[in-house]
Amino acid sequence: MTVRLEDEPVLAAADIQGNSLRGFDTKYLDLVGFKIDDAAKSRAWLRALADSISSTQLVHEHRIRRSAQRPKISSRVLVNAAFSKFGLDSLSFDTSEIEDGFLKEPMGSLAGALGDRVADGQPTDYVLGKAVADTPDVLLLIGSDDDAALTAQTASIVSSAAAAGLRKSYADRGNVLPNQIEHFGFRDGISAPGPRGLLAKNPPTPLTLRWIDPAEPVADLLGKPGQPLIWPGQFVFGYPTQSATDPRMPQAPRQAPKWMENGSLLVFRRLRQDVGLFRKFLSDTSTTLSQSLGRTINGDQLGALVVGRWKDGTPAILSPAPDASISSDEMRVNYFAYGGIPEIRVVRDRKVQTIPGHPADVEGLRCPHFAHIRKVNPRDQPTNKGQGEFTQLFQMLRRGIPFGPLYDEKPEAERGLLFLAYQTSFNSQFRELNTDWMNNPDAPELGNDGYDLLVGQNGDGAARSAPLHDSTANVDVQITAPAQFVVPTGGAFLFCPSISFLRAL
Amino acid sequence: MDRYLPPAGIDDFSRSQRSEDLRSGWNQNISDILGQVRDPAMYTLASPLFYDQLADTSGVPDGAPVPVPWNGFPLRLTKWYGAANDAQANAAAEQMLTLPAFGFFQQDGTAIALPFRIQDEYCEWFVDRVGDKVQRISFTCEPPEYWEFLAKIDFDLAHTLYEELLHKSVPADDLRWTIDVFQKDDNGKLVKRYSQGDYNPWNVWNTTKGAVHLTHPANSLFAEIALGSDSTLGWPVSPNPQGQISEIDLMCCAGRGGINRSSDPLIMKGVFGLARQGLSVALANPIGLYISPFTLGGLLDPSSKPIGAQALQLVRRSTDGTRILRVEVALPTGASYSLDQCSLDGNPLRYGGQIARNITMRLFGVGKKIPGKAPRKVKTCPDFCCFHPQHAEFRGTFRHSDFNGCADITTDDWNQEAFDIPTAKAGAFSFARAEGAIAGSEAVLVPRGRRVEPVSRQQKIDLGKYE
């Protein structure tokens, strides 16, 4: 059985907020948190805000229009809203039906479960979300490619919110860095699942573009090479979910109260990055590694092992060095699987092109098991949680954006990543990837995996290690990160409702 | 001379007057199991690539131990109820079955039904309740073979350990069989397995009143060893163009272990992968099934304060802490609330399964290239797979010799395959194999949910010679 386009659900794209299924993809993104001081006025203000919320339909059309512009930027401002449970409580909304435990707690209460540093039961590094009092009731996501337009719009929203009893309690501005890198210098946001589902046009069109030659047997499983199509119930309530055994077989929507339909769960993690420390680790460790292996390993090579990609995005499994022919081709840059993968044909510019495959690396000789991108997505490999297909159940729609200036421009400034990810179960998506895999040195794959040295947390600040087998020297070495380069500084577990939910507040 | 140590190298034996008997006896026990599995006269699936780590005389050094991880919560239940239905699976996991699933009989030929937990990932737990208040949740991965051996040599020590581990006074006689227990040999003749007064692994204090060691028919050291050995056979599974074997293809072909589990597909694929390269494989001393180190940072008291560090006790483990056998979750003395008033990752703590989902289990294997050793070829796949007609994530493995294809599989066959999975209706659970319909009858249930059969059961598998 293959999945035909007409087998996919029609999405309520005018009702689903646009940053979840489609993603703003703006150059700047303001995150503004509010506490509700006046419930009645706030409710009215939020009802009115519904008209300004950018739907999936709107964001989709905006991005298509923008892609035709040169340069590909727009002064349009996009707005989305999310609530903590405490915000819904403040509005006297009945939250007793919420089943997802993470949504019921401030992030600070679960800091220990997330691997964050804790002392006397309290997170030590949080700047927001330690407790209910400093968890935003409402978080607005306001994005634009135009700095000035965004500044003006955000100021206007904050001002009108204040008049309606919504007190600004937190704000950060995210800004895309040159070449789409994160602060350690690696191109980010390459790998993302493609939500299945149709936009109601005549004829209906898929939300996720389909590039695979229809003659390929996996044409109904991929958006582009390396991008699995995932049933949208993994990201938005009310739609079919993914099967653990057959990606073609939609499963029942996740159980949730009716008012959550067309909404998503959003985890926001404010991650501070210590670029100086990361560079020192690469420099120091590449020196000792060179001695152990008897040949020169430079910092970029070590970085590629830790991340799983070269700085330009070339997957380490595909090339022993950065390769622009791979990294600049969106059909190649994410087309890999650790068990190897055959060549595949895509239709691009109305021509059929062949994207090359590659041999397996089950043992992790080219891309180690501890590499960040492998720890959070072992792709086709069986894991401690079951066969390879299970891994797709844990994936989220990541919409993170860096914050702060580049290290080389202002070393003393704070910088990092505003990690944002949409899903329908914190417990079986975010927690699986964060806690069961990223922070767990004993999983997910066969063998000694070790810590995710890039992002993995161990809570106690102790050194984290991962084993590297170097096939050239046939030597096993331990790579040790003496400190955390990425420090979670708070965040929140949020519900991103449908636009009709906002209207009905 | 090196000896096989008890699981995790746990040092119970030094507490016994017969410590040397225990040490040498346990070593002999493990050596005997390995000997049986490696002897083609005793085990028809014996594999030349499966070696005894301590008895190997090749002179080739072992590689470093390689861990194989899996999750402690029964994946069979997740597949049965669906990945989006954790709550039902959590509740189901704590049901207990009483079935004649162990092949035991009374002297008059009546099958003996015994209670066991349906937690089949080598990780079992017991929830101590006083009324409806949860006082303690205990997790164990200790194999029944160890406790049976310990009690045989020093029953008093086993009894003392029971009382220590359960924090209760345990009448010693409760741990003993009250009847003689028999098994059938290959000719169907009853042969005594236990005498009245011997240690009963399925006693009330290890089943309905507590958990000291594993009880599920598939959760045994023998099952671990046999699956390790079976995985080194030359199963006729075709690799994909990249040279990779699908773990599902392998499980479907071999019909060994449980295709719906977390552990077995990964164990089989990993070990088979080594054997395909011509490596011989052994289980690393001390042979066992282990809980990996973990924390419970998400356990909060009723005021949302973290209490995981105080509540989690790693009760039995190796001296280096890497191999854990027993874990208890209990509140500090004097706490004014019970565990069911706490939350785990924001959800009220209702079931041990919520914690089991946080537990990574492991075993450790070693491999090396021994000159002259090659895989024993299996000529044709003995088994094939089908999906359950109502539970689309749940597979079954069936013998080609018994069925022509999936269309042949009846409801009763599926009930046999899913023998230990309760069906939820109106808040209560029932089992496909009604307990009363079998218990006490002549029929002995042969659980197929995880197929690792006794050494004596002859296999209809077309194998090459053991060389």
Instruction: With cut-offs at 50, 70 and 90, classify the pLDDT of residue B445.
Output: low
Chain A residue at shortest CA distance from B263 = A384
Instruction: With cut-offs at 50, 70 and 90, classify the pLDDT of residue B455.
Output: very low
Say what the pLDDT of residue A99 is: 87
User: Is B247 in Cβ contact with A384 (below 8 Å)?
Assistant: no
Instruction: With cut-offs at 50, 70 and 90, classify the pLDDT of residue B437.
Output: very low
Instruction: With cut-offs at 50, 70 and 90, classify the pLDDT of residue B81.
Output: confident
All residues of chain A having their beta carbon less than 8 Å from the beta carbon of residue B75 are 385-386
Which of A227-231, B185-189, B224-228 is most confident?
A227-231
pLDDT in tens, B406-430: 999 999 889 888 888 887 666 676 6
Size of chain B in residues? 467
All residues of chain B having their beta carbon less than 8 Å from the beta carbon of residue A103 are 346
Say what the pLDDT of residue B442 is: 42
Full DSSP string of B57-87: -S-PPP---EEEEEESS-HHHHHHH-TT-HH
Is B40 within 8 Å of chain A by CB? no
Residue A152 CA, distance from chain mean position: 28
Chain B residue at shortest CA distance from A446 = B68
Say what the pLDDT of residue B456 is: 42
User: Is A255 in Cβ contact with B84 (below 8 Å)?
Assistant: yes
Full DSSP string of B148-202: HHHHHH-HHHHHHHHHHHHTS---GGGGB-SS-EEEE-TTS-EEEEE-TTSB-TT
pLDDT in tens, B105-151: 999 999 999 999 999 999 999 999 888 889 999 999 999 999 999 99
User: Is B266 in Cβ contact with A102 (below 8 Å)?
Assistant: no
Chain B residue at shortest CA distance from A391 = B83
pLDDT in tens, A55-86: 999 999 999 999 888 787 789 999 999 999 99
pLDDT in tens, B274-298: 899 899 999 999 999 999 999 999 9
pLDDT in tens, B187-225: 889 999 999 999 999 999 999 999 999 999 889 999 889
pLDDT reading at A405 higher than 90: yes
Could you give the ipTM of this predicted complex? 0.90
Mutate which of B62, B68, B70 to test chain A, going by most A C-beta atoms within 10 A? B70
User: Is B266 in Cβ contact with A446 (below 8 Å)?
Assistant: yes
Share of chain B above pLDDT 70, in %: 91
Residue with tokens 């290290």: A407
Do B221 and B249 form a contact (C-beta atoms < 8 A)? no
Instruction: With cut-offs at 50, 70 and 90, classify the pLDDT of residue B439.
Output: very low
Q: How many CB atoms lie within 10 A of CB B286?
A: 19
β-bridge mates for residue A416, sequence order: A272, A403
User: Is A443 in Cβ contact with B69 (below 8 Å)?
Assistant: yes
β-bridge mates for residue A222, sequence order: A228
Q: Using CA atoms in the order B58, B59, B63, B64, what is the torsion angle rounded to 10 degrees?
A: 120
- What mean pLDDT is predicted for residues A126-146? 98
Q: Classify residue A104 by its DSSP letter.
A: G
pLDDT reading at B432 higher than 80: no
What mean pLDDT value characterizes chain B?
Answer: 90
pLDDT reading at A476 higher than 90: no
pLDDT in tens, B230-244: 999 999 999 988 888
Chain B neighbours among A 220-259 (CB < 8 Å)? Answer: 241-246, 249, 251-255
Say what the pLDDT of residue B187 is: 87
Cα B105 to Cα A120, B434, B443, distances in angstroms: 57, 19, 10
pLDDT reading at B451 higher than 60: no
Instruction: Give the Cα separation of B47 and B467 in Å (integer).
Output: 9
Instruction: With cut-offs at 50, 70 and 90, classify the pLDDT of residue A103.
Output: very high
Q: Which residue has the higher pLDDT, A74 or A171?
A: A171
Cα B344 to Cα A89, A237, B347, distances in angstroms: 21, 23, 5
pLDDT in tens, A262-282: 999 999 999 999 999 999 999
What mean pLDDT value characterizes chain A?
Answer: 95
Cα B263 to Cα B53, B120, B194, B298, B362, distances in angstroms: 22, 10, 31, 25, 9
Q: Which residue has the higher pLDDT, A211 or A449?
A: A211
User: Is A446 in Cβ contact with B68 (below 8 Å)?
Assistant: yes
Q: Where are the domains of chain B?
A: 7-438
- What mean pLDDT is predicted for residues A181-205? 93
Say what the pLDDT of residue B436 is: 42
Mutate which of A85, A122, A245 to test chain B, going by most B C-beta atoms within 10 A? A245
Say what the pLDDT of residue B438 is: 44
User: Is A103 in Cβ contact with B86 (below 8 Å)?
Assistant: no
Is A423 within 8 Å of chain B by CB? no
Beta-carbon-side half-sphere exposure of residue A249 (alpha carbons within 13 Å): 10
All residues of chain B having their beta carbon less than 8 Å from the beta carbon of residue A102 are 345-346
Cis peptide before A203 (omega within 30 of 0): yes
All residues of chain A having their beta carbon less than 8 Å from the beta carbon of residue B297 are 110-115, 118, 459
Chain A residue at shortest CA distance from B303 = A109
Is A102 within 8 Å of chain B by CB? yes
Is B300 within 8 Å of chain A by CB? yes
Full DSSP string of A265-321: EEEEEEEEE-HHHHHHHHHHHHHHHHHHHTS---HHHHHHHHHSB-TTS-BTTT-SS
Chain A neighbours among B 54-93 (CB < 8 Å)? Answer: 64, 66-71, 75, 78-79, 82-87
Q: Minimal Cα–Cα distance from A101 to chain B, Å?
A: 4
pLDDT in tens, A301-358: 999 999 999 999 999 999 999 999 999 999 999 999 999 999 999 999 899 999 999 9
Token pair, residue A283, equals 């420099």
Chain B neighbours among A 474-503 (CB < 8 Å)? Answer: 476
Nearest neighbour of A339 by CB, restricted to B244, B306, B361 = B244
Chain B residue at shortest CA distance from A340 = B242
For B66: left if phi > 0, alpha if psi spans -120 to 50, otherwise beta; the answer is beta
Do B195 and B151 form a contact (C-beta atoms < 8 A)? no
- What mean pLDDT is predicted for residues A144-159? 97
All residues of chain B having their beta carbon less than 8 Å from the beta carbon of residue A241 are 83-84
Chain A neighbours among B 214-233 (CB < 8 Å)? Answer: none
Nearest neighbour of B346 by CB, restricted to A104, A112, A446 = A104
Nearest neighbour of A443 by CB, restricted to B243, B306, B360 = B360
Let me know the angle formed at the C-alpha of B232 by B226 and B236, rounded to the nearest 5 degrees: 115
